[in-house]
Chains A and B, each alone.
Chain A
Amino acid sequence: MRRNSSPLELEITAAKIRRNVLDICRQRGGYAAQGVALADIAATLYFDELRPDGEGWFKDRFVLSNGHDAIMTYAALAETGHYSLDDLRRINADGSWVDQSPIEGQLGFEMTAGSLGQGPSQSAGLAWALRQQGSDARVYCLFSDGELQEGNTWEGAMFAGHQRLDNLCYIVDNNDMQASGHAADVMGVEPVDAKFEAFGFAARRISGTDVQELMDTFGAARATKDKPFVMICDTRLWDGIDCLQKALPMAHYTAKGAVDWDAGLADINAALAELETQHER
């Protein structure tokens, strides 16, 4: 716990992020299944782990490498108040300032990440530069299991291990899914933890969907000295929304007509109401 958020409050925020993901994606389709599965990570990052800079943004850096999953960041930044849902509902529409795959300069995005596999090395460079400058800012980089199949990822990891970048925390969305099927079938990435350990990281495997576990793991990352840290999150697409699971396994991109968005929203709103009742007690 870094900003005194309670697990229940973070769960409520995560439910709202899921609701935003569906609300936004129902307009024209999108990477909704990923957004939903990453909601707990987003809630924990933006509402507990990243330290505010006192000027409306964050002192710690979050780098999204799997740029297509920007929906996670947008949905979270609707909760922080940095984006309005009205703007987000126009995602990727002609003339909208909200791009589905954001480019650098878009509020909330450190780098242009539509071309996958670049975040791990760029964030290692960022962490190194911040340390050179004497900054105590930390760098968090989220990337996908598909990106583990790209060479640049391992160059970044090797650099981070060699430089003992303990201000760097990788978050791997190990959802065993990529555009063309299960990673295990396309080109297996396991054992992810042992690979990073061999590159000089402290590694921990978690579900990625339990806010208490996420807070504990971010705490362990901060407590780790002389090594970069990686948390391998075994998330699953559409996690937490049973009625939408029938889109699996090919839920890489959820087309507008592929799922019953209303049913999904009803599920989330019911879960949210339940959490809010618990909170009032």
Chain B
Amino acid sequence: MPTIKPVNEAEIADFAFAHNQIVTVENHQIVTGLGSLVAEIVSDVGGGPRITRMGLPNRWAPGGTLPYIRAQLGLDAETLAKRIAEVAQ
């Protein structure tokens, strides 16, 4: 997703309603981000898949090395994979 505005809403709606589980992952603040956009589009139609949003939580990040900060925010590969696997069950 290069941008969340402008965005092809029809394409997202088609994709979302073809699945019953959607996971959005973004390296941005989760509030009003990609996941929020998908949730808005889906709610405008009504019904639809369960949406799980992953991204920067709504709090300050600590200082440190990039791998450390990613792990603290749950954005390291291991945590992402674990959460997606949980959702997929």
Contacts and interface: CB of A to CB of B under 8 A. Distances in A.
Binding between chains A and B: yes
Contacts of B60: 103-104, 112
B63 A95 contact: no
A84 interface: no
Contacts of B62: 99
A30 to B, nearest CB: 12
Interface residues of B, number: 6
Interface string A80-98: 0000000000011111100
Contacts, number: 18
A261 B52 CA distance: 50
Contacts of A92: 63-64
Contacts of A112: 60
Interface in A21-35: none
B17 interface: no
Contacts of A95: 64, 68
Nearest to B62: A99
A99 B68 contact: no
A159 to B, nearest CB: 26
Interface string B51-64: 00000000010111
B59 to A, nearest CB: 9
A217 to B, nearest CB: 33
A103 B68 CA distance: 17
A153 interface: no
Interface in B30-84: 60, 62-65, 68
Nearest to B63: A99
Nearest to B59: A103
Interface string A87-130: 00001111110011101100000001000000000000000000
A70 B60 CA distance: 17
Contact of B68 (A91, A94, A101, A104): A94
Interface string A193-214: 0000000000000000000000
Interface of B: 60, 62-65, 68
Interface of A: 91-96, 99-101, 103-104, 112
Given A94-B68, A95-B68, A96-B64, 15 more contacts: A91-B63, A92-B63, A92-B64, A93-B64, A94-B64, A94-B65, A95-B64, A96-B63, A99-B62, A99-B63, A100-B63, A101-B63, A103-B60, A104-B60, A112-B60
Top 9 closest A-B pairs, CB basis? A99-B63, A94-B68, A103-B60, A94-B64, A92-B63, A100-B63, A94-B65, A92-B64, A112-B60
13 contacts: A91-B63, A92-B63, A92-B64, A93-B64, A94-B64, A94-B65, A95-B68, A96-B63, A96-B64, A99-B62, A99-B63, A100-B63, A104-B60
